[in-house]
Amino acid sequence: MTKPLTLEDYQAGQVILIDKPLNWTSFQVVNKVRWLIKQQFNIKKIKVGHAGTLDPLATGLLILCTGKFTKQIETYQAQHKEYTGTITLGATTPSYDLETEIDNTFDVSALTEQEILENTKQFTGEIDQKPPVFSALKKEGKRLYEYARAGESVEISTRKITISEFEITTIEMPEAHFRAACSKGTYIRSLAYDFGQALDNGGHLSALRRTKIGDFSVEDAISIEAFEKQISSQD
């Protein structure tokens, strides 16, 4: 049986792997874990941070660091990540995912499985990617999504990212299920949108799950509920 962690353990530093649920922000997960530790040990402060944001509509691996390990967060953020998900072809949205309503539709009846599979080749290696306008990146001190929600157009520069692996695992039109391994700074939403564009069609991200960060796997992660039970069983 694993020895219960003490307050000193959390302060010295722990890496907690959480399987982030749908519709939770990464910040909400951090807040919940921090609150649970504070409640358990009756303390006012404990450092907790996450190593790489997951959008609310994504699930999967979120690395949390406590105490002195929060200094290692940047190291984890820099590591390669792996995702599985679904690109829905034949429609685009302003946010490139399901956060916003469909704004354009396309006829997918002529798209062949071969075309879809061949299209993955141009999205591996070092590529120039334009981040979504619905993102937390800042331009002139303001987050991009603030411009987008205000209906203001803004010029977004491309940036170099690396996609080491990108494969379509199953096609169930109009859905193409995929697996991708990529560098820090890659927007899978942009990949979904660009993938549709390259097919002279449209596409948006309709499901996303982060499965790996470096050597860490979601298979070793626990739910927030499991963490709550784990920490409360230490009484």
Residues that are catalytic: 55
| Encoded tokens for 48 | 């907790």
DSSP letter string over 85-115?
EEEEETEE-TTSSTTS---EE---TT--HHH
Dihedral sign of CA atoms 2, 8, 11, 12 in order: negative
Between CA 155 and CA 25 the distance in angstroms is 27
Cβ–Cβ contacts within 10 Å for residue 128, how many? 9
- Which whole-number Å values give the CA distances from 177 to 23, 174, 226, in the listed order? 21, 10, 29
Dihedral sign of CA atoms 181, 124, 90, 170 in order: negative
| Encoded tokens for 165 | 């692996």
| Encoded tokens for 176 | 């193409």
